[in-house]
Copies of this chain bind each other. A is one copy, B any other.
Amino acid sequence: MYTVSVRDHFMIAHSFSGAVFGPAQRLHGATFVVDLEFRRADLDASGIVVDIGRAGEALRAILGELNFRNLDDAPEFRGRNTTTEFLARVLFDRVAAALKRGDLGAEASGVSAMRVTLHESHVASASYEASIS
């Protein structure tokens, strides 16, 4: 199995609901450094997993939808805690949709799985990984 990974980041404000979050129930924020991994069993004719240039652009565009925002005001997240693990899944779904739309090129259809990891500090991270149906 081959994997290719690209990294970028975004910066948001948010707050959490629930006593489990302690002081993180207050409005605060985070920088998320994002690693996006693409997996496939065989390389394409060019010898790549995915066009890393287009992958980086797709990631940047998707992070741009969230970057410099207060996620508490985002209608699509209403009633949800935008935890690091939750956001990993949100980004996974958006990249998977981009992949299906062909935003990463026709050859990228060979990608069979992805993993999205969000590093929220030097000591904590979360990720979501799944097959691409």
A residues contacting the other copy or chain, number (CB 8 A): 65
CB-CB under 8 A from A128, the residues of chain B are 1-3
- State how many copies of this chain the complex holds: 6
Query: What is the bound-complex CA distance between A28 and B66, given in angstroms?
Result: 10
CB-CB under 8 A from A33, the residues of chain B are 121-122
Contact across chains for B2 and A122 when beta carbons are under 8 A apart: no
A residues 1-17 near B (Cβ < 8 Å) are 1-9, 11-14, 16
Contact across chains for B1 and A48 when beta carbons are under 8 A apart: no
Contact across chains for B52 and A124 when beta carbons are under 8 A apart: yes
Contact across chains for B130 and A81 when beta carbons are under 8 A apart: no
Contact across chains for A13 and B1 when beta carbons are under 8 A apart: no
Query: What is the bound-complex CA distance between A27 and B86, given in angstroms?
Result: 21
Contact across chains for B85 and A43 when beta carbons are under 8 A apart: yes
A96 at the interface (CB under 8 A from B): no
Nearest B-chain residue to A44, judged by Cβ? B20
